[in-house]
Each structure stands twice: as structure tokens, then as C-alpha cells.
Structure 1
Amino acid sequence: MTGGDVQETGAVWRVPAVRALLAASVLGFTSYAATLSALPSYAVRSGAGVAAAGLVTTVFLAATVLTQVAVPRLVARRGLGPVFAAGLLALGAPAPLYLLGDSLAWLSAVSTVRGAGFGVLTVLGSTIAARAVPESRRGEALGVYGLALAVPTLAAVPGGVALTLGGHFPVVAWLAAVPVLGLAAVPALVRAVPGAVTQASGQPSGPAVRASLGPSAVLLVVTLAGAGLVTFLPIARPDGLVATAALLVFGVVGAVARWGGGVLADRVGSRVVLPPALLVGAAGLAALSLGLGSDVAVLLGAAAFGAAFGGVQNTTIVVAMARAGEHGTTTASAVWNAAFDAGTGIGALAVGVLAAALGLDLAYAVLAAALVLAVPLALRVTRPR
């Protein structure tokens, strides 16, 4: 089956490949979300400084990015099933090992292995979701994929923080092991996935890489800012309640915006969605900068930035794949996912350094300015070709 065999109308989630993908991916993304904000908070409570707290996330995502670059080649050589299964195993199995020590070195070592597994999951998930439907419905399919994954993970990010701040990090560590259960869904995924996804195209990857760099650079700026929100907001508001609520709002709004942005991009074009989304995100970060001590400002800022985060996320991958062409979708997915996770990893460290030097309020102001500066690039990459 190929994307062209799927009807132009009807529910995207009913496509067998999409359903099998969701069954295998939900547990993996839950594991990632549970530790994303929890690990930096755990590191701080264990004695690490604020600037160093983001190092664990940076190491995790550095391993993710390095693996993402290799995924297309690994699938061509080993096949989709073994590579996907290895990713689930690497992401989930080591998670309980966090409990054996609380030093930054140990937490980073465990995160390195898990990050490699997450790299596999991200590239293959986006590729399969995009190739399982016609190109005219690609934005919707990627949006449905993102929305479905967000439903279980919405509770995992704030829940992981709440458990950690409440002294229950062992629960988080064991929850992060659940991707191992996803191995049971891999055979069904392999049977349902379009064969073209696993076949080498014979096309050079260089043109696809270059075509997807622009939209991926826009995404990198936004995910860098996102890391500043999810990593340091719980540290700035250690009472737990407001930070947990803000992360939940960010996740809910972001998930809906990712789906809605995909549908809108299919109908009216990415150029109508991407630049305005950046400006909305900048406004949200400005609200955080000016009102970090205000509960209302924190919640409104998180909501506005969540809307931008979801809209930019889906729109940039649609643009990257369109620019890369049909034979370049796996490569475009790898570049896009590498930019997503590189931005998150760099942001976790860079925003920590900025916050230590300037204060978190000014660090958020710098991030707001970065989103505004990315608008011209967004206009260029969405220009009709």
C-alpha cells in the first residue's frame, strides 16, 4: 500500500498504518514526556545548579540527533521492524537505572542510551504518518499523529514534574520504562506500513537535506524557546501547582494547534500559518518575561506559546517534506526531527546559561526576540515554488 491508495476523504486515523503506528508510538512518547521536565528538577533537588540542570536534557537530545541522522540508512540495511523495535527497547529498558544514582554524570549516561532510542522513534513515526496518506492530506495526517500522541503525554510532562517535586521520582523512572510494552505492536506495524517507506529510493540525500534545512531552522528556533519553557518554568515556580498547570495548558493548546495547523495548511497553504504563528509565540514569551511572578501571565503566556509551538511544528514538517519531494520524505523527516531535538537540547543548556546571567525573565525576552527574527525566514521557505 502507498499513500496514493488511501482515499482522499474519510478519517485519517482509520488508515491501518496510522493505527499501528500510534499503538507502537504512544508508549514511547509517554516515556520521553515523563522525564523531559522531571529530570532537570530532580537534578536540582539533588544538588545541581540551575545552569547545569539542563545538561541531562542536552545529552539526551544530542544522542537523539546523532541517531536521527543515521535512521534512514539503518532502515535501508536492517529493515523497519528491527530498527523500530530496537528504538523502543533503548528508550524504555534503561529508564529504571536512573534510580541507581543521582549525579549528573550518571543521569546523563542513562539519558544517552534513551536518547538514541527516541531518535529512532521520532524519524520513523513522522515518515510513516506522512507516507500513509495522499500528499494533499499530509498536514492532517501529521496533525492527527501529533494530537493522538499528545493525549497520553499531556499528563506525563506536568505529572512527571509534580511527582518529582513531591519526592516521588522513582515512580517517574518506572513509568519511563513503558516503551518496552510497545514491542508487541511492532509486527502489526510492519505488516501495515507502506512498502515504499522501507525501500531505498536510490536517490541522493543531499538535495533533500538542503531543501529541508530552511523550515527546519525555523523549527529549531521555536523548539529552543520551548526548552526554556518546559525546563526552567518548574524551577522558577517551585511551588509546583502553577508550573504544572502551565505545562498542561502548553501541552493541550500545542496539541490542538498542531492538528488544526495541519488541517489549515492543507487548505490555505503554509504561508498563511507559519509567520503569524511565530508572532503569537513571541507574544506568549513576552508575557512570561513581563509577568513571571503572576499566575495569570504565566498561564496566558504558556497558552500563546503552546499555540505557536503546535502550529510551527506541523507546518514546518509539511513544508520540509514538500520541498524535499516524495523520495526525500524520510531524509526530510530526519533533518526536521534533528532540528526539533537539537533546538530542545541546545535550549535546555543555553537558556540555563542565560537565566543564570540575566535572570529567567530576561532570558524569555531574548527568546521572544529570536522568534520575531525568524519571521523573514518563514516567509522565504513558504514562498510558492
Structure 2
Amino acid sequence: MNSRALSRADIEQLPSMWKSPGFVAVLVAVGAAFGSWSLLLPVVPLAVLNNGGSSAIAGATTGIFMAATVLTQICTPTALRKIGYTPVMTFAAFMLGVPALGYIFSVEPLPVLVVSALRGIGFGALTVAESALVAELVPVRFLGKASGMLGVFIGLSQMLFLPMGLAIGDRFGFHIVYIMGAVIALIAAVMCLRIPNLKAAPKQEPSQYDYPEEQRAPQVATWKLVLIPSLAVTSLSMTFGAVSSFLPAAVIELDPGLGAALAGIILSITGGASMVFRYLSGVIADRRGIPGTTMIGAQIAGLVGVVLIAATIFNGWSVWLLIVGAVLFGGGFGMVQNEALLSMFFRLPRSRVSEASAIWNIAYDAGTGIGSFILGIVAASLAYSGAFGAGAAVIVVGIVLTVADRIVGKHRITEYNNTRARLRQVPVARRAVHGLRSVRGARKQRAVATKPVLVDDLLTRPTEKPGWKERPDTDS
């Protein structure tokens, strides 16, 4: 049974994100869905190989899964507007798990690829819907922590079920894993039924807003506002594709005796660090009242981590240094994930949170797939250390772009009614904003009603200034 949906005004009065109707159900549903995905992720390629299939077909099971995921993510925002979150997420959880029963009957090339594509459709719709829904359910002042908590549930699920699928498959057979994947996904579908009946807000045109013509900010293309956060995620996810694909083999090659035991542990440490630091970045963003504080530092931490991994493998240093590198890279990656998603939410109007979620997920998933492919070619030519070195170079490009975006952002014209503007309407957030005003000094006098609205001015422009009219909240 669905929870009762609250108005936006009622949501903003909630004292905690845990009081938001449907938020816990979303977390449990997402944890279960990612559990189903994690169980089967390493098992399906292995089952293909054990059945006599080629390594190309084994790799294609993941490739076609991700291709279907990305294509579905492009279409999901429209489905969320027309159909609603609950039906889309329930269908997505069903499609992610139940088709896995088809693996029981055959893992020959054509059937296994068709089933993988069907499951990719479910995964794509789910990943977009869950990130956007969190922004719809919780007060904006808790959005950072809520997004971070979503990462915690995803991370814990992956840490638990990734090794479990292989262990159960080895002991009891792969058929048991397929059945478990379907059952866990059905649990996710049932939890989705407890989510309030909501639809993503329709796209809004400038003419809907009650502003004089001379006070309206020019409309800005969405890609201009989300490009750099997207590339920040992609630069780290490309490198993560190499880490997840080649680090276990590199560890075993570096230390054949100890490496076999450490390979899986290091990947778990990477995921655990990502989970913890993603939540930490959300806490910082909520306290600051604005995302981006830890973005550049997180990118640098990820860079140092992957450089240490590359140097350790190249020079044959102690395998234990890889753990330090894994913590730095995983922690930096987790913080960048959250900062990028929150930045997109803050830069775009509330009516486009589903687009922000879709763009973020596409940047993440496409980056992981492209990184595995391209850096795999590099690894074939320059060994594993060369692949990680190339990954470090990609992160450097991401850092340069983020720094440039930070500078240009002081003069970026943005759209009204985004999350950052809405924070000024929340009493708790206003106190945080007042602290930001005190350190900006003379800049708070620069806002003039006839000037275009600048990103920083959304925080500093006083609502009572003559000629400034608070925009009506049409999304509530």
C-alpha cells in the first residue's frame, strides 16, 4: 500500500529525512534491487565461460546489459512524468530480476544476450528513478544526506552480494543464484508499492512565471549547466572501470601468494570508502547549504589514489600500498558522485530533477563501460600500470575542467526555481545562507533587479529589494 504523499510545503517542515513518507521504502527497494544486480554481475559471464562460450560472449553479456541500461535511462524522465515513480520503479525491479530465470534454461549466446538486455532495461529505469525520487521526497535542506544515504544502501548491497553470488554459485550451482536474484528483485518491487504516488513535475516554460519581462533571466541550455559535473563523474568512473576490471589481476600478478586473498578485499575496500565518503560529502553539503565544497579535493584524492596504485604496480612495491590507494580513490570517487548529483539538482529547476538523475547515471554507467574498454586496450599494450596511469591522466582533465567551471560559475547565468534558490525559502537554510552572506561582504550589494541573475546572486540577492519578486512555487 502506498504511503500518503505530502505537499512540498509539508515536506519542507519535516524535522528529519527519516520522517519523509516513502524514503525508507525507497532505500530498502534500492538496496534489494542492487543486491539482485550484484549477485548476477560476476556470475553470468562465468556461467557462459563454464558452458564453453567465448570470452567475447562473456564480456558481451555485461556490454549489452549496460547498453540497454543507458538507452533506457534516456527515456526514463518522460516515463516518470507520464506514468509516475511507483509504476516505473515496480516495473524496473521486476525486469531487473525475473528475466534472470531465463538463464536457467540456456546460457547460449542468443538467449543469454536477450535476457541480459531485458535486465538492463530494468536497471536503467531504476537507477534514474531512485535518484530523482529522493529529491522529491525529502526536505531540500537534507538532500545531501539523503543522497549520501542512498549511496550507503547501494554500497552495502554491493559489498554483501557481489562475493555472495560467486560463493553460492561455486557451492550450490548457478541456478540457485538465478533464483535468488529473481526473488530479491521481487522484494524490491513489493517495497516500491509503498512509495507515495508521485509523478515527475512537467517541464515548465518561462511564460508560466509571474515576472516582468525585464527581470527574467535568459534561458540556459541544460547541457551547459550539467556538462562539467557530468564530466567529473565520467573521469572517475572511467578509471573505476579499469580498477574494477584489472586491479584483482594486477594484485595477483604483484604478489601471487598474498594477492589472491587480497584482490577481493581491496575491491571491497574501494566500495566501502566510496560509500562512507559519499555520505560525508552529503553532510558537508547540507551544512554549507550548497554543493561543491569537496568536489575538487575529492578529485585530487582520487587522482593520488590511482597514481599510487599505478606506481605500486609499476615499481613492484608492497601490495599493502594498494589498500591506501584504494581508500583514496574510492573515497574521492564517492564524494565526486554525490557532489556532481547535488550540483545538477541545484543548477536545474525542480521540474528537471529526473533529467538531472538521468544525465548523472548515464555519465556514471557510460564512463564505466568506456573506461573498461579503452583502458583495457591500454593495458594490453602498456600493462596494468599503464592502464591506471592513463586513468590518472583522465582524472587530471576532469580536475582542470572543474577548476575552470568554478571560475566561470561566478558569472554563469542560470535558471530560476532550482534547488539552490528554493533553499532561501526554508527557515533553517536561511540561517546557513546568512553565514555565507557575512563572508561575501560587499558582493551582496551587487544584485540589481535589472541585471541577469548570477549563480552566486541567488543566495545574496535580498527578497525585499525593490523590484525583486519572489517566484511562486508552482511545483508544490
1-structure distance, mates of 2:26, 2:99: 23
Residues 122 and 24 of structure 1: is their aligned pair in 2 closer, same or farther, counting only changes over 3 Å? same
Distance 1:365 1:72, change over 3 A: same
Q: Which residue of 1 aligns with 2:87?
A: 82
CA RMSD of aligned residues (A): 2.8
* Aligned-pair CA distance for 1:76: 2.3
Cα distance per residue 1:177-227 (max 9 Å; x no partner): 221222222221134xxx4x4342345998334422221121111111112
Distance, in Å, in 1 between the alignment partners of 2:389 and 2:52 is: 28
**1:8 and 1:137 in contact (8 A); partners too:** no
Q: Which residue of 2 aligns with 1:176?
A: 181
Q: 1:224: which partner in 2?
A: 238
Segment of structure 1 superposing worse, 217-226 or 3-12: 3-12
> Which amino acid counterpart does residue 295 of structure 1 have in structure 2?
V
What residue number does 1:286 align with? Answer: 307
Q: What whole-Å deviation, never above 9, does each CA across 1:224-260 have from its counterpart, x for those lacking one?
A: 1112122233344466421210121111111111100
Q: Name the structure 2 match of 1:128.
A: 133
Deviation readout 1:33-76 (Å, 9 max, x if unpaired): 23334445556666778787644333211111110110111122
Q: 2:16 and 2:271 mapped to 1: Cα distance?
A: 24
Q: Which residue of 2 aligns with 1:377?
A: 401
Return closer, same or farther for 1:107/1:309 CA change in 2, 3 Å cut-off: farther
* 1:36-47 matches, cutoff 5 A: 36-40=41-45
Structure 1 residue 26 displacement after superposition: 1.6
Contact 1:278/1:375 (8 A) holds in 2: yes
Tell me which moved more, 332-341 or 22-31. 22-31
Q: Which has the higher helix share?
A: 1
Q: In the alignment, residue 328 of structure 1 is paired with which amino acid? A: R
2:194: which partner in 1? Answer: 188
The Cα of 1:6 is off from its aligned counterpart by 2.8
Name the aligned partner's letter for residue 219 of structure 1.
V
Q: State which of 12, 22, 25 in structure 2 corresponds to 1:17.
A: 22
Correspondent of 1:57 among 59, 62, 71 = 62
Q: What is the identity, as a one-letter code, of the residue corresponding to 2:32?
A: L
Equivalent residues in 2 for 1:1-385, closer than 5 Å: 1-7=6-12, 10-40=15-45, 54-102=59-107, 106-161=111-166, 169-177=174-182, 178-191=184-197, 195=198, 197-203=199-205, 207-237=221-251, 240-268=260-288, 269-292=290-313, 294-382=318-406, 383-384=409-410, 385=455
Q: Distance in 1 between matches of 2:304 and 2:170?
A: 29
* Change over 3 Å in CA distance of 1:107–1:366 after alignment to 2: farther
CA distance in 2, matches of 1:240, 1:42: 21
Q: Separation in 1 of the partners of 2:9 and 2:42?
A: 40
Going from structure 1 to structure 2, the CA distance change for 1:351 and 1:17 (only over 3 Å counts) comes to same
Per-residue CA deviations over 1:11-44 (Å, capped at 9, x if unaligned) read: 3233222112123222111122233344455566
Deviates further, 41-50 or 334-343: 41-50
Structure with higher RCO (Cα < 8 A, 6+ apart):
1
- Report the counterpart of residue 470 of structure 2 in structure 1: none
Task: State the match for 2:449 in structure 1.
Answer: none
CA deviations on 1:125-147 (whole Å, 9 max, x unpaired) are 00111122232322111111211
Farther-moved stretch of structure 1 (71-80 vs 116-125): 71-80
Flag structure 1 segments of 5+ consecutive residues without an equivalent: none
Q: One-letter code of the match for 1:198? A: A
- TM-score between both structures, scaled by the size of structure 2: 0.72
The 2-side partners of 1:94 and 1:244 are apart by 28
CA contact (8 A) 2:144 2:286 kept: yes
CA separation of 1:209 and 1:296: change in aligned 2, threshold 3 A: same
Judge which range, 138-147 or 104-113, deviates more: 104-113
| 1:91 positional shift | 0.4
* Partner Cα distance (1:231, 1:172) in 2: 22
CA distance in 2, matches of 1:157, 1:249: 13
CA distance in 2, matches of 1:305, 1:32: 23
Change beyond 3 A, Cα 1:4–1:249: farther
CA contact (8 A) 2:38 2:162 kept: yes
Identity of aligned residues (%): 29
Count the aligned residue pairs: 381
Paired with 1:301 and 1:290, the residues of 2 have a C-alpha distance of 10
Name the CA distance, whole Å, in 2 between partners of 1:96 and 1:316: 36
